[in-house]
């Protein structure tokens, strides 16, 4: 059954990815949600509609939680997740992760689709249409990039680790917290990237391009698929204080596992957990 779930999600992600490839940098309607750093375009909405149609055609009894179907702001999204979690099968969809990149014509726009069964993520698909890279994972069945098995990297200390983080879209406090983390980590790691798609950061941790990733104040749709990818690729996913990942986590730390303790310690010591 996992194969069927994953196959349908991949097909939906490819269809949505086609829209992203065609319209990147050329959105016609750029709207602001909570502020001028929290954007939505007509393509975000179209992408979500395409994915919904595909998923419901295959699984009419399943529920869908998609970013653009939820009122803006973190309180509303936490509430929507809470309600949606009562569903037996819940698809969690980010139709474009990296809308700011999309609007500005930069790479780093992905489609992220996860399926949770009774609150546990069992399938995760992240598609980068600009590189035609399809990341997939099913619980206890490993993680793959374009069908080839992937695993996390082997760096065992922060000094040789390439990390990533991101700047949340709608909260000044979260950006401030994140900067404290960057100030603490930047002198003790190899370098830090902020590509602008949390899902892509997680996929890159899963395939070993990045050693670790953390970010404050994300939503379930940013992390659900990527968290399974990292776990299935042999990595560790927790909140920023080191507690195991679950769908209600908002502040995430994901890594190859070998640097996880050091990463969490640095975040805690610099008051950068957001908790
Ligand atoms: C955003 C991206 C970005 C992260 C923001 C998210 P969106 O998602 O994942 O990397 O820093 O916090 O909101 O709005 O482009 O789907
Ligand atoms: Ca958004
Ligand atoms: Ca997102
Ligand atoms: Ca989005």
> Mutate which of 222, 223, 227, 249 to test ligand 1's pocket (most atoms within 8 Å of Cβ)?
222
Ligand nearest to the CA of 198: 1
CB 7 within 8 A of CB 105: no
| Pocket of ligand 1, beta carbon within 6 A | 67, 94, 97-99, 166-169, 196-198, 215, 218, 222
Q: Residue 168: pLDDT above 90?
A: no
Angle, helix 172-185 to helix 260-269, in steps of 10 degrees: 120
Per-residue model confidence (pLDDT) at position 35 = 86
- How far does residue 11's CA lie from ligand 4's centre (Å)? 18
Question: Rounded to the nearest whole angstrom, what is the distance from the C-alpha of residue 166 to the centroid of ligand 4?
Answer: 14
Asked if pLDDT for residue 15 goes beyond 80, the answer is: yes
Average pLDDT over every residue of 50-71: 97
Measured from the CA of 40, which atom of ligand 1 is nearest?
Answer: 14
Query: Which range has the worst mean pLDDT, 35-39, 108-112, 207-211, 238-242?
Result: 35-39
Buried b (16+ CB within 10 A) or exposed e, 95-128: bbbbbbbbbeebbbbbbbbbbbbeeebbbbbbbb
Which parts of 28-182 are beta strand (E)? 30-32, 39-41, 63-66, 89-97, 110-117, 120-128, 133-138, 143-145, 148-149, 162-165
Above 80 in pLDDT, residue 222? yes
State the pLDDT confidence band at 230, using cuts at 50, 70 and 90.
very high
| Residue 17: predicted pLDDT | 98
Shortest CA distance to 9 belongs to which of 90, 75, 73? Answer: 90
Contact 259, 154 (CB under 8 A): no
* Beta bridge partner(s), residue 138: 123
Closest-lying ligand 1 atom to the alpha carbon of residue 168:
12
Domains of the chain: 2-149 (3.30.540.10), 158-269 (3.40.190.80)
| Section 54-82 average pLDDT | 94
pLDDT tens by residue, 35-49: 888 889 999 999 999
Q: Which residues are catalytic?
A: 67, 94, 96-97, 99, 222
What number does the ligand 1 atom closest to the CA of 108 have?
10
Q: Measuring CA to CA, how many Å separate 94 from each of 15, 123, 127, 137, 264?
A: 14, 14, 11, 16, 27
Cα 95 to ligand 2 centroid, rounded to whole Å: 9
Q: For residue 34, what pLDDT band results from cuts at 50, 70 and 90?
A: confident
Name 144's bridge partners: 136, 149
User: In the predicted model, what is the mean pLDDT of the chain?
Assistant: 96
Pairing of strands 89-97, 63-66: parallel
**pLDDT above 90 (res 256):** yes
Reply yes or no on whether the pLDDT at 178 is more than 90. Answer: yes
Task: Compute CA distances 51 → 39, 113, 220, 246, whole Å.
Answer: 20, 9, 17, 24
What would the pLDDT profile of 101-156 be if each residue is shown by its tens digit? 999 999 999 999 999 999 999 999 999 999 999 999 999 999 999 999 999 999 99
Atom of ligand 1 nearest to the CA of 38: 14
Ligand nearest to the CA of residue 109, numbered in listed order: 1
* Band of residue 169 on the pLDDT scale cut at 50, 70, 90: confident
What is the best residue among 197, 226, 254 to mutate for testing ligand 1's pocket, by most ligand atoms within 8 Å of CB?
197
What percent of the chain has a predicted confidence (pLDDT) above 90?
91
């Amino acid at each position: 059954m996992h194969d069927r779930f994953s196959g349908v999600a991949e097909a939906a992600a490819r269809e949505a990815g086609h829209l992203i490839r065609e319209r990147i940098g050329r959105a016609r309607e750029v709207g602001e949600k909570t502020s001028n750093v929290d954007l939505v375009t007509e393509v975000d909405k179209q992408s979500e509609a395409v994915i919904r149609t595909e998923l419901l055609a295959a699984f009419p009894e399943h529920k869908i939680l998609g970013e653009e179907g939820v009122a803006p702001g973190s309180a509303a999204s936490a509430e929507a997740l809470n309600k949606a979690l009562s569903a037996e099968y819940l698809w969690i969809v980010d139709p474009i992760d990296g809308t700011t990149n999309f609007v500005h014509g930069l790479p780093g726009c992905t489609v992220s689709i996860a399926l949770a069964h009774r609150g546990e993520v069992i399938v995760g698909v992240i598609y980068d249409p600009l590189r035609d890279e399809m990341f997939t994972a099913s619980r206890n069945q490993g993680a793959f990039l374009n069908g080839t098995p992937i695993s996390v990297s082997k760096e065992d200390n922060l000094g040789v680790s390439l990390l990533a983080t991101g700047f949340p879209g709608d909260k000044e406090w979260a950006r401030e917290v994140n900067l404290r983390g960057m100030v603490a980590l930047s002198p003790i790691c190899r370098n830090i990237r902020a590509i602008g798609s949390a899902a892509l950061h997680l996929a890159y941790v899963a395939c070993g391009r990045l050693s670790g990733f953390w970010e404050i104040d994300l939503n379930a749709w940013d992390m659900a698929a990527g968290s399974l990818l990292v776990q299935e690729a042999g990595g560790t996913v927790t909140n920023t204080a080191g507690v195991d990942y679950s769908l209600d986590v908002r502040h995430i730390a994901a890594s190859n596992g070998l640097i996880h303790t050091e990463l969490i310690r640095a975040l805690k010591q610099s008051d950068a957990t957001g908790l």
